[in-house]
Amino acid sequence: MNAPADPVLRQVSLDDRYDATDGAVYLTGTQALVRLPLMQRQRDLAAGLNTAGYISGYRGSPVGGYDQALWRARRQLDAHHVRFVPGLNEDLAATAIWGTQQLNAFPGARYDGVFGIWYGKGPGVDRSGDVLRHANQAGSSRYGGVLAVAGDDHGAKSSTIAAQTDLIFQAVAMPVLAPANVQDYLDHGLHGFAMSRFSGLWIGLKAVTDTIETAGIVDVSPARLRIALPEGLPMPPGGLNLRWPEEPFLKMEERLARWKLPAALAYARANRLDAHVFGRRDGEPARLGIVSTGKGWLDVMQALADLGIDEAGACAAGVKVWKVAMPWPLEPEGLRAFADGCEELLVVEEKRALIESQLKEALYPLAERPRIVGKADERGAPLVPDYGELTPALCARVIAARLKRWAGRASDAHGALSDELVARIDARLARLDEKEQGGSKSFETIERIPYFCSGCPHNTSTRVPEGSRALAGIGCHTMAMWMGRSTATFTHMGGEGMTWVGQAPFSETRHVFQNLGDGTYFHSGSLAIRHAVATGTPITYKILFNDAVAMTGGQKHDGQLTPQMIARQVRAEGVEKVVVVTDEPGKYPSGHFDAEVTVHHRSRLDQVQRELREYPGVSVLIYDQTCAAEKRRRRKRGEYPDPQRRAFINEAVCEGCGDCGVQSNCVSIEPVETEFGRKRAINQSTCNKDFSCIEGFCPSFVTVHGGRLRRNPARAGAAASASPAAGLPLPTLPAIRGSYGLLVTGIGGTGVVTIGQLLGMAAHLEGKGVTVLDVTGLAQKNGAVMSFVRFAEPGAPLYAPRIGTAAADAVLGCDIVVAAGREALARMGVGHTRVVANVSSTPTADFTRNPDWRFPLGGMESAIVDAVGEDRAWFVDAARLATALLGDAIATNLFMLGFAWQRGLVPLSAASIERAIELNEVAIEQNRAAFAWGRVAAVDAVRCEAAIEPAGAPAVSRRLSTSLDESVARRIDALTDYQDEGYARRYAATVERVKAAELALVGDAPLALTEAVARNLFKLMAYKDEYEVARLYTSGPFLERLNERFEGDFRLGF
């Protein structure tokens, strides 16, 4: 273990990611793709070329944040003559990129060439096959070049399919590069541009979630990459690049097959893109050669490390590894040299085989060739799956099974596999088996599924009248399918409604609603409406206009789009019945829409929809309400009105009926367990001020007008300004032995990703190796989020960014539901992992549909203890403490980080973490204070509690009685306040009679009947008429609780 010392920190700026021209830079894969065109422009200038860049495409996970990163780097892009124009959809964007390569075929070009980057997720590649085939065959310009970046969500975490685009690239004859880490995005990208220019081809770049959404440290030195153009290669007349006028189409096909693809192979060979990276050298006899690419290569290298096979061990065991940079077309000469002397080649690739068949074709003519296995073994039995995602554990089992075939028998060039290696492999696999077969002994895990944000328009807009059904599509509204909202089935993007066009003639159902996001409408969905009109199919399109592409992060539309424009467009297409429903009808005075278009308040949605389902043809309902998450972002930037009012629930009045949840479907309405039953409270930190919760006309709701949330309630404000961590003992920091894995779990939208970013930057400041993989899936808000953070000492390798089975050294459970979920528990190892978990009872989305849902805290705590062992887990009510100390639950995660650091779970100095907080430039003082108070909580919980102790107790105490006598006594006091002592004595006498009778029957057994009578008789006698409600509002405790949460000049609205 290492005693903490103040390390010498690197001088780092956030601008380094794009401005630094030498040395080490901390980047995500997405940011590497932003930096790439800047580096290409710099290299061209150094070569005497005046080039420009053009980037276009369409967002979608895992390239959903690329456009936002480009917008944030506009200063650097402009300075380097790189133009970013987001595409309306993928195929139109690709066509624009095609146009950049035609620039120099005509007079008037202002640049020597334009290099292009197209991007799109897997389905976008599918829909763009036509233009990709045409543009690739036409080619690239001599000083231009094109990269086609394909986002492959192999695990279908945030996609409707698990895409594999390399096969699509193969089908359109486009070479494809497969980066394995962030450094590869820069290196392969620069090689891709050069290869594209040399060969006249577009070059695909396969970006999978585990590489593009990982952050790491890269070398940006110009001298790092030296590009060699093949010499002496025969060329056809006119060369390989795009020309105009073009040859006849069959000649173009011939040029591509005979000249262009061989040129790409020659480039790969000249630059040694594929490489022998591990184990026995070429020409030396080897038992097992492993061939892999991209993420699969990371999994292989991690698997070997997990099996205890280092470089020396691999050489001794006769193992070597070949890393393929270009999986199609496969460069054969290097592979033949690698295969020479191997007894067996194992091909490890994720999804369907691409390399394996090419490898067999390349080696088949050889007189002596190794056995080749991959998707199947030599007997045809399945080996490496062609579905799902690979993991290091899966690869370890495959590699171990192949290696152990040599156990106890000698090969032609080796003795038998050593007993020591076999025993070590068996021990590692046994630990994997034990973990995967064990599971939790005490708890059925629950899942935190993604859900609509607080105040999301879809909470209301996706409702349909009783007896109707709706169809889903692509967008956040897809989640309505698992909310019991009579919404079923979906289509690809732009096909919305067409499944009903096919069904309608054969169904007794007369009409359906079709949800259609405004982004999808703009992308391609308007064509579906046109077809529905052409067929005369009865259907209502609900165009959900929320003024943002919410699912991928709140981007603006790629052009001008307003409800008025949509109304005019669909009417021009032949839709005669168009209505607008909005939360703000007053913003549309007379004349904003055609006279035939009616505008309604959202409270009339049900009635409007009942009318529309009787309409005989195609109708359109435009539901106009701004995305709640986008409202929140814009309000922080001062770009959107922020109503100076908040909803607040008087717990004493609340009866816990749950109608507020029925009205709003809102996850900011949370259960509160009190002495007098389950109540409701508004989570003020997550509330987005939609106010649909107050539409139930419940007397427990008030609105607070004016004032503001109290940032430092009670005495915490003064304490926070006094550096609470000063004088605390310094922990012993954990040692990094090879690598150190820290898993951060939490809820989407609460800053989990920020914790990973801070840790990554802190490690970079200290000069350590680090990778950070953020796994968010659909969880823009409310779903499970994980950040896998892996540290290494300087210069030590880090392979797979995900922490493996039972391999986490520490878990920072910012939400215990996610920390006790299957995926997180699988990373924990008994006697190895240490856990800090936040036990604050943030309900899952199940609570919006089931008001009796209970938070299974005890089961989750037990599951974690089972997974790590006794005395290796700490449970802290972090959200309660952070909110009370700092006034906002958003401080919870930094509080947790401070707690974990003080407990010795984080192998970084406090100085580097605090510097990373400064560099992040967001709520610096609050985050510093949260980190400091978390440290205090780890060693002095009493001090934390003392800092937040309120001056008085609220009227409805959240402290539960610990005995029947206490429960009865508290209710006697409450009934005395309710009416008088005589009334309270009647209650007490009744309870006492029941208790005496029950004691006579059950003796020392629990008095269940008496407890039930005590609770329910009190509820009956304390009936809340209008006088009691008035008393509960005017009593002191309610006002005290109100003043705990709000400060300033405010008034109440009822």
The answer to whether the beta carbons of residues 654 and 679 sit under 8 Å apart is: yes
Question: Given pLDDT bands bounded at 50, 70 and 90, which one contains residue 439?
Answer: low
Domain boundary among 438, 468, 486: 438
Residue 1045, domain member (yes or no): no
Find the range with the poorest average confidence among 581-590, 704-713, 863-872, 900-909: 704-713
What are the helix and strand counts (H, E) for the chain? 42, 30
Does a structural domain hold residue 980? yes
d(CA 405, CA 756): 42
Cα-based distances in Å from 362 to 333, 339, 383: 8, 11, 21
Show which of 248, 270, 292 is a domain's final residue. 270
Residue 839 sits in a domain of what CATH number? 3.40.920.10
In the chain, the N- to C-terminal Cα span, in Å, equals: 59
Q: Is the peptide bond before 245 cis (omega within 30 degrees of 0)?
A: yes
* Residue 715 confidence class, pLDDT cut points 50, 70, 90: very low
Per-residue pLDDT of 586-616, as tens digits, reads 988 888 899 999 999 999 999 999 999 999 9
**847, 742: one domain:** yes
pLDDT at 551 over 90: no
Residue 529 has a pLDDT of 98
Indicate if 912 and 873 belong to the same structural domain: yes
995 and 908 within one domain: no
pLDDT of 804: 94
Which residue range forms the structural domain that includes residue 836?
720-939
Q: How confident is the model at residue 778 (pLDDT cuts 50, 70, 90)?
A: low
Mean pLDDT in residue range 1003-1016: 93
pLDDT of residue 712: 60
Return the structure tokens found at 695. 């539409």
pLDDT exceeds cutoff 80 at 38 = yes
> Quick one: pLDDT at residue 780?
56
- Claim to verify: residue 380 and residue 337 sit in the same structural domain: yes
Residue from 923, 877, 920, 921 nearest 720 by CA: 923
Task: Please tell me the predicted confidence (pLDDT) of residue 270.
Answer: 98
Is 111 inside a domain boundary? yes
141-161 pLDDT, tens digit each: 999 999 999 999 998 888 888
Specify the 3-state DSSP secondary structure of 28.
strand
Residues 157, 212 share a domain: yes
What would the two tokens of residue 306 be? 């997990």
Same domain, 847 and 884: yes
Please check the confidence at residue 5 and state whether its pLDDT lies above 70: no
CATH number, domain with residue 475: 3.40.50.970
pLDDT above 70 for 3: no
Evaluate if residue 382 carries a pLDDT over 50. Answer: yes
Between 419-428, 774-783, 817-826, 898-907, the lowest mean confidence (pLDDT) is in 774-783
How distant, in Å, are the alpha carbons of 168, 173, 191, 274 from that of 329?
Answer: 13, 9, 15, 12
For residues 396 and 467, membership in a common domain is answered with no
Report the pLDDT averaged over residues 179-183: 98
Number of domains in the chain: 5
Which pLDDT value is given to residue 151?
96
Q: Is the model's pTM score more than 0.85? A: yes
Q: Are residues 576 and 611 in the same domain?
A: yes
The DSSP result for 300-345, as a single string, is HHHHHHHTT--HHHHHHHTEEEEEES--BSPPHHHHHHHHTTEEEE
Is residue 556 pLDDT above 90, yes or no? Answer: no
- Whether 687 is covered by a domain: the verdict is no
pLDDT 10s digits, 950-977: 533 344 457 889 999 999 999 999 999 9
Q: Give the pLDDT score at 547.
A: 82
Q: Are residues 919 and 995 in the same domain?
A: no
Is residue 740 in a domain? Answer: yes
- pLDDT for 1037: 84
Angle, alpha carbons 876-877-883 (nearest 5°)? 130
Contact 970, 675 (CB under 8 A): yes
Decide if 880 is inside a domain.
yes
Tell whether 985 is covered by a domain. Answer: yes
- 467 and 433 in a single domain? The answer is no
**What average pLDDT does this structure show over 710-734?**
71
Return the percent helix, strand and coil in the chain, to nearest 5. Answer: 45, 20, 40
CATH (domain of 378): 3.40.50.920
In a domain, 368, yes or no: yes
Rg (CA), the chain: 32
Same domain, 281 and 251: no
Q: Using the predicted structure, report yes or no on whether residue 216 has a pLDDT greater than 90.
A: yes
Query: 553: alpha, beta or left, given left = phi > 0 and alpha = psi -120 to 50?
Result: left
Provide, rounded to the nearest whole percent, the portion of the chain with pLDDT above 70: 95
Q: Mean pLDDT throughout 446-470?
A: 92
Question: 260: burial class by Cβ within 10 Å (0-12, 13-18, 19+)?
Answer: buried
- Single residue among 380, 407, 438 that ends a domain in this structure: 438
Mean pLDDT of 911-922: 95
pLDDT digits (tens, 9 = 90+) for 110-129: 999 999 999 999 999 999 99
Which residues does residue 838 pair with via DSSP β-bridges, in sequence order? 876
pLDDT at 452 over 50: yes
Q: Taking a C-beta distance cutoff of 8 angstroms, is the pair 703, 1052 a contact?
A: yes
Measured in whole angstroms, the distance separating CA 354 from the mean position of its chain's CA atoms is 28
pLDDT at 713: 47
Average pLDDT, the chain: 92
Indicate whether 259 and 388 sit together in one domain: no
